[in-house]
Every structure is written in C-alpha cells, then in structure tokens.
Amino acid sequence: MRLSPLTIAAVVAAGLLVGRRTYHHYHDSILDEIEDEVQSGLSTAAVFGALGAMAAGAWLMSTQLRKGPAEDLTVEESVELDVPVSTAYNQWTQFEDFPKFMATVQEVKQIDDTHLHWRALVGGKVKEWDSEITEQIPDKRIAWRSINGAPNSGVVTFHKISDNRCRVMLQMDYTPEGVVERVGDAVGAVKLTTKGNLKKFKSLLESRGHESGAWRGTVAEH
C-alpha cells in the first residue's frame, strides 16, 4: 500500500510547482504515473490515496492563490545538546559556518561584528539579503533582523541544563513571498527545515566535541 518515490514526487510537484507549467499538465502526468503503478501491482487503496493527495495539493494551491498579501509567520523549534552551553553559543557565533548545518543556506559572509550577508535557496529561488545583529549576550541570546531583501527576524537563546548539556531554542519571524513560498509554509516546509537544521547543528557539534571558533563580544539591544 505504498506509493513509489516517483509517484510521491509527482504528487508534491502538482501542488508546489506553480506558475511554471499548468496544473492540468501535472494532473495528467500523475494519472499516467498512477496507471503505471496499477499495472505494476499497486493496490486500489494506494491509488485512491494518491488521487486524494493530488486533490489536496490542488485545493491547497487554489487556496493560496486566493489569499491576499502574505502575513508574517513564526516558527519555533528547539534541540538539546550534550555540550556545555558556552560551546553551543560559541559555535553559533561562527555565522560563516551556517551552510554546514543549514540545508538551504548557501553562503553567509560576516561584514562586521553586527552585519551579515546571506545567500540562500528560498522557495526554489536563490535570494540574497543583509541582516543586522540587534542584540547579543554571551551564552544567553542572539537576535537579528533583515535590513533588506527577504523580510525576516528572530532570536536564538541558549539554556544551561547541566555542566555538559544545554538547550538551544530558535524563533524566526518571516514573510513568505510569492505563491510557492506560501504553499511551502502551508505544508510545514519551513518548520521541518528548521527542525532538521537544529538536528544537524547538534550532530555537528556533538561529533566534534568543541566549537570551531568564538566571538564573546556583547551587542546592546537596539
């Protein structure tokens, strides 16, 4: 009763690839794929499941198209690490290392102590923007906001659990731009990506056991 990866990919494509080709084209492609699966022995229940997913994708797409201007959205995720809180904080201050654990981030350049330039894949497109560190307290919190490009802001906080264990909590506020980003948010893509990034951060730091660098300066809230 399982769909092949190819079928699942086709179903997702029907719901998310908006504007490049018409939905009817993907509708026909998915039906052709499902027919192939039936000939390969796929169960009737799975076929109806695929058709249901296709219909849900079409409904989601049309719902997003009818919406007005996108509203600000918030994602909150956390992870516990088996390292001292200072180690987690120190590693997070190494912003140019972000592509090592952030799946969609291609490059981060640190311009000065409080300004960064980002390049990332957002909604299937490469976007660039600058951000400003608005507050930084060693071993406690780092807050930022974009100053151009993709609108976003947030804060990451660090909490000591024991001498060798801590919790990292990340909150991001952003405004999805365009239908693809809005549909992606509706299916929880940003939340899943954020959760995955924190897990990779945990794996990276725990496997190494120490930070790659540190900046212990303070930025007053502004």
pLDDT tops 80 at residue 203: yes
Confidence class of residue 56 from pLDDT cuts 50, 70 and 90?
A: very low
pLDDT tops 90 at residue 52: no
Per-residue model confidence (pLDDT) at position 72: 78
Domains of the chain (ranges, CATH numbers) = 5-66 (no CATH), 73-208 (3.30.530.20)
Query: Residue 35 — φ and ψ, nearest 5°?
Result: -60, -40
Confidence class of residue 64 from pLDDT cuts 50, 70 and 90?
A: very low
What is the tens place of the pLDDT at every residue in 95-121?
999 999 999 999 999 999 999 999 998
Does the pTM surpass 0.75? The reply is no
Q: Which amino acid is at 157?
A: T
DSSP for 14-34 reads HHH--SSS-HHHHHHHHHHHH
Between 182 and 151, the more confident residue is 151
Per-residue model confidence (pLDDT) at position 107: 98
Per-residue model confidence (pLDDT) at position 179: 52
Between 143 and 41, the more confident residue is 143
Confidence class of residue 208 from pLDDT cuts 50, 70 and 90?
A: very high
DSSP for 33-79 reads HHHHHHHTT--HHHHHHHHHHHHHHHHHHHHHHH--SPPPEEEEEEE
Query: Residue 70 — φ and ψ, nearest 5°?
Result: -65, 145
What is the tens place of the pLDDT at every residue in 72-100?
789 999 999 999 999 999 999 999 999 99
In the predicted model, what is the mean pLDDT of the chain? 78
Work out the angle between the directed axes of helices 5-16 and 23-39 (0-180°, nearest 10): 170
Between 8 and 111, the more confident residue is 111
Per-residue model confidence (pLDDT) at position 66: 52
Per-residue model confidence (pLDDT) at position 69: 53
pLDDT tops 60 at residue 70: no
Question: d(Cα 54, Cα 49) in Å, to the nearest integer?
Answer: 9
pLDDT tops 70 at residue 211: yes
